[in-house]
Chains A and B, each alone.
Chain A
Amino acid sequence: MRLEAKPSPSLVVTLVYPVGAVVATLVITSLLVLVAGASPFSVFYLVAKGAAGSQFALLETLTRSTPLIFTGLAVAVAFRARLWNIGAEAQLYVGGIVTVVLGTGALPLPSVLLIPIIMAVAMAGGALMLLGPAVLKTRFGVDEVVTTLLVNFIVLLFVSMLLEGPLKDPMGLGWPQSSKVIAEAQLPRIIQGKRLHYGFVIAIVSAVIVWVIMKKTALGYEMRAVGHNPQAAGFAGIPVNRVLMKTALLSGGLAALAGFSEVSGLKGNLTLDLSPGYGYSGIVVAMLAMLNPAGVVVSAIFVAGIFVGADAMSRAAQVPSYIADVMVATALLTMVVAILMTRFRIRWK
C-alpha cells in the first residue's frame, strides 16, 4: 500500500471527504446507541432538537460555542506552525484567574477601560503560559506536547490553591470558588434575560482578526512556512524560532480569552469546573475546521451543538451524555483521515 499525492484537489473533493467523515462518525456512534438499547434515529433527532430545535436551544449552543471558538483558534494558530499546544486548558484558566484578580474590585474603573485592561492582561498571562514550553522546545529540544500537558495539571492545582486561599470567596460557605466580578467587569448579555453574552461577538471578531493575520500578513505566511517545513523555512531566511515564539504568544493569548469570556460573560466567578475540557475540545474544533480560522467558528458551533444536544438527549433517552465526547473524538479521527484522502490517493498493490 502506498500514498500518492493528488495533483490539486477540486472543491468537490475537498468537501466530499469531510462530509464523509461526519457520516462515518454518525454511523460509528449509532452502533454505540444501539448497544445502549436506543434507536439511533430518535437519539440523533433528540440531539439535533436539543442543539437547535428552539430559540433557547440555539442560544445555548452559541453560548457554549464561545469558549470553543477561542480555544479552537488557539489550537489552529499553533498547529499551523506545528507548535503542538495541548495546553489551552491551562491558558484558559490563567485567563480566568486574571479576570477575577483584576475584576473583583481591585481596579475601580468604568467598563470601557476595565474590560479591555482585563482582556489585555489575560492574553498576556496566557501568552506567557505557552511561552515557557515554546522556549523549552526551541532552546532545549523538549517536546512541547508533554510539557503543555503537564502544565495543565499544575495550573489546575494552582487554581485549586488560589480558590482555597487568597481568592477564596468569604461569602462562599466554604466552597472553593472566587468572589463574583463587579458589574463593571462583566460582559453584557446580547439579549436581556438570556445567557448569550458579548463574549460570542468578541470570539467572532477574534476569528476575523486571526484570519487576517494568517492570510494577509507576513507573520501568517511565516507561520505557515514554518509549519510546512521548518528546515526549508530556515534556509529561506525565516527566523524559525522567533516565528514559533510569536505563534506561542498569539495562541496562548487566544486560549486565555476563553477563560476571560467564561468568567466575565457567563459564570461571574472562578471555580474548578470553569472548563469541562474546552482546551482539549479546542483541538477537535481546530482539526474539524482544517485549521482554518473561519472554519473554527462553524466547527465550534457544531461541536457545541453536539454537547448541548447530548445533554438534552440524555435527559430524555437512556443514553449517557458521554456519547457526545465519543462523537467528538471519533469526528477528530475520521477527519484527519478525510484530510489525508483529499490530498493523497491510496494505491493498493
Chain B
Amino acid sequence: MDIVEILFTASFWVAAIRIASPLIFATMGELICERAGVLNLGIEGIMTAGAFAGWFTVYAGGDLWTGVAVAALAGAMFGLLHATLTVPLGLSQHVVGIGVTLLATSLTYFTYRLALPEVTSPPKIEAFQPLPIPVLSEIPVVGEALFAQTPLTYLAFVTVALVFWVLYRTPLGLAVRAAGENPSAVEAQGISVNAIRIGAVMAGSALMAIGGAFLTMSAFNSFFFGMINGRGWICIALVVFGSWRPGKALLGAILFAAFDAYQVRLQQITGGVVPYQIFLMMPYALSILALILVARRATYPKALMIPYQKGER
C-alpha cells in the first residue's frame, strides 16, 4: 500500500478516532483543572487507576456503565486528594501531582496483585462493542470513522460539547475560568475560589479516569501494567497545544491520534528497515515539538499554579 493511500482508507480513520478517544477524555479533564488554575500531574496515575477500576468492576460482575461510573468515582477521589493538598494548603502542584501519580499507580498495582494473585495472563472481560448509528454510519469513510465506534467514543465527543457549553455558556463555567485567571474577582462575587478549584479538579480527574477506563473497556478488554504508557503526559502537552480551548484540544487529540495510527501503518510498510522503536518514539517527540511550536504564543491561564489565599493580593 502506498504511504499516501493510507490516509484515504476507512480503517485508518476508524483507528485514529479510537486512539483519540481516551486522549479526548483525559485532555478535557486536564483542561478543566488548568482552566481553574490547577496543574494536575496526577493524570498518568489517575488514568491507571481508572483503567483498573472500570475493568475490575466489570470483571467482578458489574455491567459496563457501572464500570465507567466506578472509574469516574475513583478518579474523583484522587482528584479530591490532589485538590486538598494543592488548593487550600497551596502545596507545590508539581510535587503533589507526581506524588498522586505514584500513589494512584502503586495502589492500583497493589490492588491488582491482591485481587488476582495467581494470574499469569490478564483475564478478559466483555468490552464495549461498536454501535453503528443507522444511516450515518453508512457514509463512506467519514461515517465509518465517526459513527461506527463504541458508545464510549460517542461519549468522548459529547464530553467535549458539554465541557465547551459549561465553560463558555454557564455562570459556573465563568467562575471556573475566572478562578484560573483572576481569583480575587471570583471571591469578590461571593464565590469561594477554593470550592470552584476543588470541584474542577475532582470533575477533571473523573474524566481522566474514564479516559483510562476506555483503554481496558473499549480499546482492549483487559488490564496490563504500564498500559497508560505516557498517555497522561501527552494529554498535558495537548492542553497546551490546544491553547486551553476544548475545540482546539479536540482537534489536537485527533491530529495526534491520526499521526499515531499512521506511524503504526508506516511501520508495517517499511517492514523492519527502520527500527520499530523509532516509530514508537514519534508520539513523544511530536508532543515535545508541538509544545515548542506553541509555547511562545501560549497564553497560560494567568493564575495557573498560583495558590489562592483569601485577602491576599
Q: Scan A27-46; emit 1 where CB is below 8 A from any B CB, else 0.
A: 00000100110000000000
Please name all residues of chain B whose beta carbon is closer than 8 Å to the beta carbon of A266 when the two chains form the complex.
none
User: B89-97, B183-191, B246-254: which lies at the A interface?
Assistant: B89-97
- Minimum CB–CB distance for A336 against chain B, Å: 5
Please judge, given known A-B contacts A84-B94, A165-B275, A328-B102, whether A136 and B292 are in contact too, CB under 8 Å: yes
Please judge, given known A-B contacts A36-B114, A150-B288, A153-B229, whether A336 and B85 are in contact too, CB under 8 Å: yes
Please judge, given known A-B contacts A333-B85, A336-B91, whether A325 and B109 are in contact too, CB under 8 Å: yes
Task: Answer whether residue B170 sits at the interface, using C-beta atoms and an 8 A cutoff.
Answer: no
A-B contact sample (5 more), CB < 8 A, given A150-B234, A154-B284, A320-B110 = A150-B233, A152-B230, A154-B281, A158-B281, A326-B107
Task: Answer whether residue A340 sits at the interface, using C-beta atoms and an 8 A cutoff.
Answer: yes
Please name all residues of chain B whose beta carbon is closer than 8 Å to the beta carbon of A152 when the two chains form the complex.
230
Contact indicator A322/B229 (Cβ below 8 Å): no
Task: Answer whether residue A278 sits at the interface, using C-beta atoms and an 8 A cutoff.
Answer: no
- Minimum CB–CB distance for A135 against chain B, Å: 10
Task: Answer whether residue A93 sits at the interface, using C-beta atoms and an 8 A cutoff.
Answer: no
Task: Answer whether residue A248 sits at the interface, using C-beta atoms and an 8 A cutoff.
Answer: no
User: Measured between alpha carbons, how far is A278 from B298 in the docked complex, in Å?
Assistant: 33
Contact indicator B310/A332 (Cβ below 8 Å): no
Majority SS of interface residues in chain A?
helix
Per a CB cutoff under 8 Å, which of A32, A84, A153 touches B110? A32
A-B contact pairs, 9 of them (CB 8 A): A1-B88, A2-B311, A3-B90, A32-B110, A145-B41, A146-B291, A150-B287, A152-B230, A329-B99
Contact indicator A329/B295 (Cβ below 8 Å): no
Contact indicator A140/B296 (Cβ below 8 Å): yes
Across the A-B interface, the 10 shortest Cβ-Cβ residue pairs: A325-B106, A320-B113, A329-B102, A329-B103, A161-B277, A322-B110, A157-B277, A332-B99, A150-B284, A333-B99
Task: Answer whether residue B98 sits at the interface, using C-beta atoms and an 8 A cutoff.
Answer: yes
Please judge, given known A-B contacts A3-B309, A140-B295, A142-B295, whether A284 and B110 are in contact too, CB under 8 Å: no
Please judge, given known A-B contacts A146-B233, A161-B277, whether A280 and B291 are in contact too, CB under 8 Å: no
- Minimum CB–CB distance for B261 against chain A, Å: 18
Task: Answer whether residue A323 sits at the interface, using C-beta atoms and an 8 A cutoff.
Answer: yes
Please name all residues of chain B whose beta carbon is closer than 8 Å to the beta carbon of A147 when the two chains form the complex.
288, 291
- Minimum CB–CB distance for B52 against chain A, Å: 12
Q: Scan A173-195; emit 1 where CB is below 8 A from any B CB, else 0.
A: 00000000000000000000000
Q: Scan B138-170; emit 1 where CB is below 8 A from any A CB, else 0.
A: 000000000000000000000000000000000
Task: Answer whether residue B32 sits at the interface, using C-beta atoms and an 8 A cutoff.
Answer: no
Please name all residues of chain B whose beta carbon is closer than 8 Å to the beta carbon of A332 when the two chains form the complex.
95, 98-99, 102-103
Task: Answer whether residue A219 sits at the interface, using C-beta atoms and an 8 A cutoff.
Answer: no
Contact indicator A337/B89 (Cβ below 8 Å): yes
Please judge, given known A-B contacts A150-B234, A161-B278, A329-B106, whether A322 and B90 are in contact too, CB under 8 Å: no
Please judge, given known A-B contacts A141-B295, A160-B277, A326-B107, whether A336 and B117 are in contact too, CB under 8 Å: no
User: Measured between alpha carbons, how far is A150 from B89 in the docked complex, in Å?
Assistant: 29
Considering only residues 301-349 of chain A, those with a C-beta below 8 Å from chain B are 318-320, 322-323, 325-326, 328-330, 332-333, 336-337, 340
Task: Answer whether residue B74 sits at the interface, using C-beta atoms and an 8 A cutoff.
Answer: no
Which residue on B lies nearest to A277, using beta carbons? B102
Which residue on B lies nearest to A32, using beta carbons? B110
Task: Answer whether residue A149 sits at the interface, using C-beta atoms and an 8 A cutoff.
Answer: yes
Task: Answer whether residue A300 sits at the interface, using C-beta atoms and an 8 A cutoff.
Answer: no
Task: Answer whether residue A283 sits at the interface, using C-beta atoms and an 8 A cutoff.
Answer: yes
Per a CB cutoff under 8 Å, which of A141, A328, A329 touches B298? A141
Please name all residues of chain B whose beta carbon is closer than 8 Å to the beta carbon of A323 when the two chains form the complex.
110
Please judge, given known A-B contacts A35-B114, A36-B114, whether A86 and B98 are in contact too, CB under 8 Å: yes
Task: Answer whether residue A164 sits at the interface, using C-beta atoms and an 8 A cutoff.
Answer: yes
